[in-house]
Amino acid sequence: MLAGWRRHMIMEKLRARRHVRIGELAASFQVSERTIRNDIVRLASIYPIYTTQGRGTGGVHIMDTYASEPRRLTDTQAHFLEGIIPQLKPDDQEIAESILLDFALL
pLDDT digits (tens, 9 = 90+) for 75-87: 888 889 889 999 9
Burial class of residue 40, CB neighbours in 10 A (0-12, 13-18, 19+): buried
Residues in the chain with pLDDT values less than 70? 1, 68-71, 105-106
DSSP one-letter code for 64: T
Q: Comparing C-alpha atoms, which of 28, 33, 31 is closest to residue 13?
A: 28
DSSP state at residue 60: E
Q: Determine the pLDDT at residue 16.
A: 86
Position 70 scores a pLDDT of 65
Domains of the chain, by residue range, sit at: 3-62, 69-106
pTM of the model: 0.62
CATH fold for domain 3-62: Arc Repressor Mutant, subunit A (1.10.10)
